[in-house]
A and B are shown apart, each in its own frame.
Chain A
Amino acid sequence: KAGVTQTPRYLIKTRGQQVTLSCSPISGHRSVSWYQQTPGQGLQFLFEYFSETQRNKGNFPGRFSGRQFSNSRSEMNVSTLELGDSALYLCASRPDRVETQYFGPGTRLLVL
């Protein structure tokens, strides 16, 4: 099976812009989670989607949002970008009733 894919891999934006990141889970996986990774804060949970519904949400401002489509692909959106949003954004998928998450390669976002 193909692994988790994320597009784009690299992105440069300026403050105030918005960005949309995409994640395609492993085929058959209905759960998709998003994480932000920074050197200072480590890996922080953003949200989890399951069957198009947000099942869990981390402690991030409302500028961070996501959605999941019927084919389990997921997108996350960050509006009004700030310098501190520069990070590696990781997506992970997992099968139903299995605890192991499988991560994509990430999207590295740089906000100038």
Chain B
Amino acid sequence: AQSVAQPEDQVNVAEGNPLTVKCTYSVSGNPYLFWYVQYPNRGLQFLLKYITGDNLVKGSYGFEAEFNKSQTSFHLKKPSALVSDSALYFCAVRLEVYGQNFVFGPGTRLSVLP
């Protein structure tokens, strides 16, 4: 069975500092990996994905993530955090098999302090 872990419920970072939101996954096969962000009272917004190819994926709003197969991780990073990045971040995985559903992690709340 697929599963996603986000080991930190909350991440606090000062504005202008680099941020990392961690994600590890467990699948029996090749994973498709995603990051989504949710602002208050809103749906989820797509940030970036890894399907195949380069392990470093760049996405929206200056975010990037690195796929590490040996560590089964897909950490989200940004070189310089903004207060407006404060939100709930979800990592998700889907198997490279037709008809498989997406599995989401529990979410990490990011607070960027001015």
| Chain A residues in the interface with B (C-beta under 8 A) | 4, 33, 35, 42-43, 45, 48, 55-56, 58, 90, 92, 99-106
Name, among B41, B43, B46, B100, the residue most crowded by chain A CB atoms within 10 Å (CB to CB). B43
List of A residues within 8 angstroms of B106 by Cβ: 42
B94 contacts A105, CB within 8 Å?
A: no
Q: Chain A interface secondary structure, helix, strand, loop or mixed?
A: strand
B32 contacts A99, CB within 8 Å?
A: yes
B99 contacts A55, CB within 8 Å?
A: yes
A103 contacts B101, CB within 8 Å?
A: no
- Known interface pairs A42-B107, A43-B104; A103-B94 also in contact (CB < 8 Å): no
B43 contacts A105, CB within 8 Å?
A: yes
List of B residues within 8 angstroms of A56 by Cβ: 99-101
- Known interface pairs A42-B106, A42-B107, A43-B90; A102-B46 also in contact (CB < 8 Å): yes
B94 contacts A4, CB within 8 Å?
A: no
Name, among A35, A92, A99, the residue most crowded by chain B CB atoms within 10 Å (CB to CB). A99
A11 to B65, CA, bound (A): 37
List of A residues within 8 angstroms of B63 by Cβ: none
Closest to A46 in B: B101
Within 8 Å by CB of B43, from A33, A48, A55, A106, lies A106
B32 contacts A58, CB within 8 Å?
A: no
Within 8 Å by CB of A48, from B44, B90, B101, B105, lies B101
A99 contacts B107, CB within 8 Å?
A: no
B95 → chain A, closest Cβ, in Å? 11
B42 contacts A105, CB within 8 Å?
A: yes
List of B residues within 8 angstroms of A58 by Cβ: 101
Within 8 Å by CB of A33, from B41, B46, B101, lies B101
- Render B30-49 as a binary contact track against A, CB cut-off 8 A, 1 for contact: 00101010000111111001
